[in-house]
Structure 1
Amino acid sequence: MSQQDIETLSAPLTLPCGVILKNRLGKAPLTELLADARTNLPNERHFNVYRRWARGGYGLIVTGNVQVDRKAMEASRNVAIERQDEKDMELYIRYAKAAKENGARALAQLNHAGRQTPRAVNPRPKAPSDVKLSLKGIPPALVSTPIAMTTEEVQQVRDRFIAAAGFCQKAGFDGVQIHAAHGYLISQFLNPHVNVSRTDQYGGPLENRMQLLKEIVEGVRSLCGPGFIVSVKLNSSDFQKHGASEQDNILVLEMLEQSLCDFVEVSGGSYEAPALLGHVKKESTKKREAYFLDFASEARKTVKKMPLMITGGFRTRSVMAEAIRSGDADLIGLGRPVCLHPEIAVALLSNPYKTFTVPSPKIDWDQVRTETPMIGNGESLWYSAQIHRLADGMEPDEEMAPIYFTMVWAPRQLVYEPATFFPTNVVWALAWPVKKAHHVFRLTLAAGVVAAATATGILVSRNRA
């Protein structure tokens, strides 16, 4: 049976555009947080980690967030294609080349964060409507109120996605993935709970709400031609009351199939309802490992030809192979496992003499969340730190203390970044070249900045009084 499973997962897949993937395993997109926030360009650390993943034997590698607007970043240390300067092209060429080093097809994931743009990046982000995020444990005063986009601004964003895809094609990427999941901008347009007040062609009924995604996919296909992979990442559900339902998203899948999309990666949730982090309650889904396989099975009744990539929860080779054989999935996406085991595809496609299960991390995250509620999203950050280790030429560390990454690494990474806000941006501009400095120095520096900023604020307030 193991040999049959290996043969199933090793089988090539020909996409509708004619491009062939060498096997059915894909490295799913993961936010890297590796770019210099002053430039948002790919760098040596990106090349290092993608070369490592390329050696892992995947048929497909999808990058983390590549933003189409530096004012709408998911995180200020992500890559952004905004200027599209030819002088930067060499860096993107190396980025694509690193991911394709071992015969994988490489896609750049294009995104716009919309209302999920952090306040430090943009205090007044653009969104379909002025509906604020409602985040558990976060006071509303700390969440930005978005500005509803005009029709012209929506079309400018559409054109940014299309132009960015053309830029990626010139750099050597085999295709792009349009991020329409996890509560980011395109997902916000699809969500009737967020897209609530528009009266133009991008609001109201579902046919209008999915118009932006339709125009982007068809625009990329028109610009880049038939041999370029055009993929979409789509929620199975928003897992929210009044959000986009599974039936809504099956209709979106139908539209994408008609618009010549090459495959859809199925995911789910958003910042407000984080199914993407594995917080899925459906018992049948838990038993079958894959969080979104039930949705894929239902979607297959309507969407017959367009391949589906299912990401989230897969851990055993037999379950992955059965998902392919059943026809529910055409590709298996691996996310967190590749952070700890970057060559996991090689292992899955070898040694037919034993049942293979992806090794689990040594941290019991359910217990951590129960004992230390303040950890919050520390699990996600913990995996991001493993990517950073790979980028620096180190091996993953499965025994890293999770509390460190919530109380130390996360604030440093997500708050005290260059090009965010005064005065930390000034201090970081001076400290950034000290790349080998110990994290204690950086924390001390950050603490000093906070103290100075607080003191300055008090003095200013007194003077005004």
Structure 2
Amino acid sequence: MFDPVEPLKQPVTFPFSGRTAKNRFLKSAMSERLATFSTFDPSGRGQPTEELVRLYETWAKGDIGIIVTGNIQIKKDHLEATGRNTIIDRDLPSVYLQEWTEVARAAKSQGSLVIGQLNHPGRQVSINIQPYPEAPSDVEQPSTGDVLFGRPTPLTKDGIKDIVDRFTYAASVLHRAGFDGVQLHAAHGYLLSQFLAKRTNMRTDEYGGSLVNRAHILLEIIAAIRRAVQNPSFIISVKLNSQDSIPEGFCIEESIMVAKLLEIAGVDFIEVSGGAYEQTTRSSRDKVTLLYFTGSPELIPSDYKPYTVETREGYFVEYAELLRSHLNLSKVVATGGFRTSQGMANAVSQGAADIIGLARPLTAEPLLVRDILRGEKKTAKGDRFPESPMLRFVASAAQIAEIGNGQDITDFDNAFHVARFIAKMQKEIPAAISEALFL
């Protein structure tokens, strides 16, 4: 008897580390906000908590092939949002090695690979946290709603070396804690993404100008992690924008070129995303025009056969498919917009992606992957929210907190629960927006 989700059950072996994920699912990074936090004392920030461990124990029970943590910050006073970010900073009194070992144990308890996502926000940090942000150039982040940003100071070469060292240090801590690898966040307008985009990188030294120069810091970090960890089975992955969808932002042609450089550098998998905090653009499910048609025709291989439009799901699946056609070894993860097991299976079986990434569906149903693989579910739970990405971000954050605290998960497919949540947010929305910067 034909099994419609058989493609999703297949293991995938990564080309450079040699590690194997037990199936084709990846839990994509979301900011958990379940670490310790002190407004006035940076040394009291960033420690993993019992709630964070419980969250990852729960996701592990969902039989997910790869679990990627929320973005771990590498600098205690440069955080991606107001709130309880996890932090690995060599300047803190402790690196919380024991606590990170517990997180790794929890996430790996059912056979998942666990990857720690590392991040620095660059200019994209609330002025309430850091009034003097650091970035490639002094291009200020536009204010959005009630979130204000300071004008960034361009990083010196010594400052760039410090950033490279901090990413490397954090990766070495996670390796010692038992993590299977790291993911470098080079998407969504954060620091590494700022270096890649001409809009935010006005430098004239070896870290600016040509695309190879703009990718220099990212490649330096990868090489430095390899030297520090000294373990060929340690996975290095990158989250990369397909495009920023803003003028002078990172574009599709550049993304493909960077992906090729990442493959040469030995990156096991690239997770495809898109947009920046300035503007989030995602292709709608029923839009027939493919993303790459906005790029250069020469990027499309002569033997390219488009993914079946009638059954397509996923915000970036067309780009993932195009990117995959330009790579020989590195695996491609398509994340965002998947809701049906059939759509997920089609993306894998028809060659659009090697791995399916899920984020918010797993806050509503942490055991969703297990249920799909068993054939017990065909569709992820929906919600009754009006069209508001910000409300959905905040709602998922609330569900993450519920899982971490061992509470029942609010069902946002219930109109009453949605109405009650929106009423609460109307009182708390300024703080909630500050908490829910781009995941």
Q: Corresponding residue for 1:407? A: 426
Are 1:110 and 2:115 matched, yes or no?
Answer: no
Task: Choose which of 76, 81, 88 in structure 2 pairs with 1:81.
Answer: 88
RMSD between superposed Cα atoms in Å: 2.2
Moved more, 82-91 or 29-38: 82-91
The C-alpha deviation readout for 1:226-268, integer Å capped at 9, x for no partner, is 1001010000110112111001000000000000001011011
The CA distance in 2 between the partners of 1:138 and 1:91, in whole Å, is 34
Counterpart in the other structure of 1:358? 380
For 1:152-301, list aligned pairs within 5 A.
152-196=158-202, 198-224=203-229, 225-275=231-281, 282-284=287-289, 288-301=312-325
Paired AA for residue 218 in structure 1:
A
Correspondence for 2:406? 393
Q: Give the distance between the partners of 2:284 and 2:428, measured in 1 at CA.
A: 23
Cα deviation for residue 404 of structure 1 reads 4.0
Q: CA deviation at 1:279?
A: 7.5
TM-aligned CA distance change 1:146 to 1:405, over 3 Å? farther
Cα distance in 1 for partners of 2:276, 2:94 equals: 35
Q: Is the Cα–Cα contact under 8 Å of residues 26 and 331 in structure 1 kept in the other structure?
A: yes
Q: Would you say 1:379 and 2:392 are equivalent positions?
A: yes
Partners of 1:30 and 1:279 lie apart in 2 by 22
What residue in structure 2 maps to residue 26 of structure 1? 26
User: Taking structure 1 as reference, are residues 130 and 405 closer, same or farther at Cα in structure 2, changes over 3 Å only?
Assistant: farther
Asked whether the 8 Å contact 1:217–1:230 carries over to 2, the reply is: yes
- The residue type equivalent to 1:296 in the other structure is A
Which amino acid in the other structure matches residue 384 of structure 1? Answer: A
Q: Which amino acid aligns with 2:403?
A: L
Structure 1 residue 116 displacement after superposition: 0.6
Question: Partner of 1:7 in structure 2?
Answer: 6
Distance in 2 (CA, whole Å) between partners of 1:295 and 1:182 is 16
**Residues 163 and 242 of structure 1, relative CA distance in 2, 3 Å threshold:** same
Structure 2: distance between partners of 1:215 and 1:302: 23
Quote the Cα distance in structure 1 between the aligned partners of 2:172 and 2:423. 41
Which residue, 76, 87, 100 being the options, matches 1:92?
100
Contact kept in structure 2, 1:381 and 1:405, CA below 8 Å: no
The answer to whether the Cα contact below 8 Å between 1:71 and 1:125 also exists between their aligned partners in 2 is no
Between 128-137 and 89-98, report the one with greater CA deviation: 128-137
Cα offset, 1:316, TM superposition: 0.9
CA deviation after TM superposition for structure 1 residue 136, in Å: 4.8
Instruction: Report matched runs for 1:276-355 at 5 Å.
Output: 282-284=287-289, 288-351=312-375
* 1:121 to 2:123 alignment: no
Q: Deviations over 1:72-97 (max 9, x none)?
A: 11124100000376672111100111
Residues 1:415 and 1:208: Cα distance change in structure 2 (over 3 Å):
closer
- Cα distance change, pair 110–194 in 1 and its aligned pair in 2 (3 A): same
The residue type equivalent to 1:266 in the other structure is: V
Deviation, 1:222, is: 2.6
Q: Secondary structure at the match of 2:170?
A: helix
Superposition deviation, residue 321 in structure 1: 1.0
Structure 2: where are the runs of 5+ without partners? 39-44, 291-308
Hey, what's the Cα distance between the residues in 1 that align with 2:287 and 2:139?
28
- Report the counterpart of residue 299 of structure 2 in structure 1: none
Displacement of 1:412 in angstroms is 4.8
Instruction: Decide whether aligned partners of structure 1 residues 36 and 414 sit closer, same or farther in structure 2, where only a CA change above 3 A counts.
Output: farther
Using a 3 Å threshold, how does the CA distance of structure 1 residues 125 and 255 change in structure 2: closer, same or farther? same
Radius of gyration: which is bigger?
A: 1
8 Å CA contact retained: 1:293, 1:328 = yes
- SS across alignment from 1:179: strand
As a proportion of its length, which structure holds more helix? Answer: 1
Deviations 1:362-421 (A, max 9, x none): x2322xx4xxxxxx72221111111111111012112243424533445456769xxxxx
SS in 1 for 2:253: helix
Distance change >3 Å, CA 304–CA 281, structure 1 → 2: same
Most deviating of 397-406 and 292-301: 397-406
- Aligned-partner Cα distance in 1 for 2:316–2:224: 28
Percent of aligned positions that are identical: 38
C-alpha distance in 2 between matches for 1:290 and 1:187: 22
Query: Is 2:211–2:254's contact at 8 Å kept on the other side of the alignment?
Result: yes
Q: Distance in 2 between matches of 1:40 and 1:252?
A: 31
With structure 2 as the length reference, what TM-score do the two structures score? 0.86
Match of 1:449 in 2: none
Q: Which amino acid aligns with 2:321?
A: S
Cα deviation code 1:83-123 (max 9, x no counterpart): 37667211110011111111100011000000111111101
Q: CA deviation at 1:5?
A: 2.9
- CA distance in 2 between counterparts of 1:332 and 1:340 reads 17
Deviations 1:106-163 (A, max 9, x none): 0110000001111111011001111111245468xx3311111111101110111011
Q: Is the 8 A contact 1:151 1:200 kept in 2?
A: no
Matches within 5 A, 1:420-435: none
2:169 aligned with 1:143, yes or no?
no
Cα shift readout 1:181-237 (whole Å, capped 9, x = no counterpart): 0000000000101112x1211111111000011111122123222100101000011
The one-letter amino acid of 1:88's match is Y
